[in-house]
Amino acid sequence: MALPMYAKLEIILMRRSVVVYCLVWLLMVPAVTAQGPIREDVLLFRDGDRITGELLRIEFGSAVFRTNKTADLTVDLSQVQDLQCKHRFAVLKYGVPVSRANAVIGTIEVRGDNLIVTTDDGKEVTLVAGMVGYAINDVAFEREVNRRPPALEGWSIVGTVGGSIVKSTEDGAALNTEVQVTRQVPGVDYLPVRHTTSFGVRDTYEQVTRHDLTNGTSIEEETHVFHAALEQNQYLHERLFALALYEFDRNYSQGLQAGNVLGLGVGWTVVKNHKQRVSLKTDLHETSQGFMDPSNNVNFLGQQLAVTFDQALPRSIDFSGTLSYSPSYTRPHDYGASTRGMVTMPLFWRFSLAITAEDDYLNNAQAGSRRNSFRGSTGLRFTH
C-alpha cells in the first residue's frame, strides 16, 4: 500500500535530518544570537531619499550599508549627497599597500564628491570619494593586520533548502539541501590571502511512486545524489596556491555507491577583483569507486582540471559556477566530468533565492545506468 504523500515527505525529511539539523544549528541559531543593535548612521541620497542604519565598509567607491528592514545595501558613492558616521574607520586610498602607516584613521563623512576623515586630534583629511579603495572599521582593521585570528573565528556559513511534492499518476517528493562552510585568513579582501579552508555538503533525495491505473499496482523508486568535499588551500604567492582535497560521492542514478577522491595539486587565481573572480586548479588524486554491483568496483590514479568563477551582476545578483574534467591515467576508460552553475538573487535580510543547475558525467557508470546525471533546483538560501 502506497504511503500518503505527506507521510512520504516526512520519511524523506527524517532520512535527511543530519543535513537539515546542521543547517538549522549552524545557520539560524548563530545568526539570531549574533544580531546586535544597528548603529544610527545617516545616508542621504542626491535625490533626497534618506535612510538610517550602520555603515559596514566602503570598497572601491561603493558603500555597504546595513539597516534593520532589508538585506545589506551596496550604494555607489556617486549617488550619495551626505553620509555621517560616528564610529572610527581606517581609510586606504586605491592602489596603496595595506599597512597602518598608509591608513588614515578617524570618523568619516561624505560631502558631495569628497570623503572627509576627522582624526583623533581633530585634523580633517579630505579625499576624493572615488579614489578610496577601502574604509574599514578600525577595530577589524587592527585585528586583521596585526594578529592571527583564533581557529574558530572567521568562518562563513551558507545553507540552501528546497523541496517539491507531486501528486498525480506519479506521486513524488524531493528534498534538496546544501551547506557550505568556508574560512579565509585573513578574512578580508584588502590583505593578501594566506590560506583558505572549505567544507561543503550537497544532498538530493527523491522518492517516486508510479501507479499503474489499469491493474492497480505501484512501483516505488528512489534517487539519491550526495556530494561532500573538503579542501585546504595554502597560498605560495598572491595568486598561486597549493591545495589538498578529499571528496566523497554517491549517485544511485549512475549505480555509484561510494566514490572517494584524495589528491594534491596547485591552483592559480587568474582574475580577482570586487566584481569577478576566476581560478584554475589541477591535481593528481587516487580514486576508489564502489558500485551497487561490486564487480564494477575500481581504483585508479587520475587528475582533475577545473575552473571556478564568480561574477557579480547588477542588483546584487551573483552568478557562480565550476567546470571540471577528470581523466584517468591507469584506467583511461574511467574518466568523468562535471559542471555546476548557480544564480543567487537577494530577497530580504540574509535570505536569497538560489537557482542551481548541475550535471555529472561518469563514463564507467554501472551497466544499466545512464552515464549522465542532470539536476536542477530552486531553493531558499541563507548566509551567515
| Chain segment 83-121, per-residue pLDDT in tens | 888 788 989 887 777 777 788 899 988 888 888 999 988
Same domain as 95, residue 199:
no
- The verdict on 111 and 188 lying in the same domain is no
Alpha-carbon torsion, ordered 17, 21, 22, 24, to 10 deg: 140
pLDDT tens digits for range 175-219: 899 999 999 888 777 677 889 999 999 999 888 787 776 777 778
213 and 318: one domain?
yes
Are 113 and 203 within one domain? no
- The H helix count followed by the E strand count for the chain is 4, 21
pLDDT in the model for residue 153: 78
Q: Which domain holds residue 60?
A: 41-146
Burial of 291 (0-12, 13-18, 19+ CB in 10 A): buried
Find where cell 551547506 sits. 179
Residue with more model confidence, 34 or 299:
299
Which of 95, 121, 146 terminates a domain? The answer is: 146
Quote the mean pLDDT of the chain.
84
Instruction: Read off the CATH number of the domain in which 290 is found.
Output: 2.40.160.40
- pLDDT of amino acid 15: 52
Nearest to 172 by CA among 139, 126, 210, 141: 210
pLDDT tens profile 307-362: 999 999 988 899 999 999 999 999 999 999 999 999 999 998 889 999 999 999 99
The answer to whether residues 374 and 356 touch, using CB atoms and an 8 Å cutoff, is: no
H or E stretch at 10: helix 5-15
Residue with cell 499496482: 217
Q: What residues contact residue 125 under an 8 Å CB cut-off, 6+ apart?
A: 104, 106, 116, 117, 119
Would you state the pLDDT for residue 35?
Answer: 46
Residue 34 pLDDT > 50, yes or no? Answer: no
Least confident interval from 69-83, 122-136, 253-267, 335-349? 69-83
| Section 235-248 average pLDDT | 94
In a shared domain, residues 28 and 77 = no
Residue 4, C-beta contacts closer than 8 angstroms, at least 6 positions apart: none
- In sequence order, what are the beta bridge partners of 271? 278
Segment (H or E) for 378: strand 372-383
pLDDT score for 70: 54
CA atoms within 13 A on the CB side of 315: 7
State residue 369's pLDDT score: 87
- Give the residue from 166, 175, 169, 285 showing the smallest Cα distance to 223: 175
Mean pLDDT, residues 124-150: 80
Q: Do 23 and 107 fall within a single domain?
A: no
Q: Residue 72: what pLDDT?
A: 74
146, 162, 184 — which closes off a domain? Answer: 146
Q: Are residues 196 and 217 in the same domain?
A: yes
pLDDT at 33 (0 to 100): 43
Percent of the chain topping pLDDT 70: 86
Instruction: Give dist(CA 166, CA 351) in Å, integer.
Output: 26
pLDDT tops 50 at residue 36? no
Residues 71 and 185 occupy one common structural domain = no
Let me know whether 139 and 200 are in one domain.
no
pTM: 0.73
- Here the cell at position 12 is 524523506
Please give the backbone phi and psi of residue 253, each rounded to the nearest 5 degrees, phi first: -65, -20
Answer yes or no: do 137 and 164 share one domain: no
Q: What is the DSSP letter of 328?
A: B
> Could you give the CA distance from residue 106 to residue 101 in angstroms, rounded to a whole number?
14
358 forms bridges with which residues in the sheet? Answer: 340, 375
Question: Helix H segments across 62-160?
Answer: 138-146
Q: Do 134 and 247 fall within a single domain?
A: no
Task: Choose one of 121, 146, 171: the last residue of a domain.
Answer: 146
In the prediction, which pLDDT does 67 show?
Answer: 76
Which amino acid is located at 316 in the chain? S
What is the per-residue pLDDT for 66?
Answer: 82
Number of domains in the chain: 2
209 and 293 housed in the same domain:
yes
Please tell me the distance from the alpha carbon of residue 334 to that of residue 331, in angstroms, as a whole number.
6
79: confidence class by pLDDT, cuts 50, 70, 90 = confident
Q: Looking at the DSSP assignment, which residues form a beta bridge with residue 169?
A: none
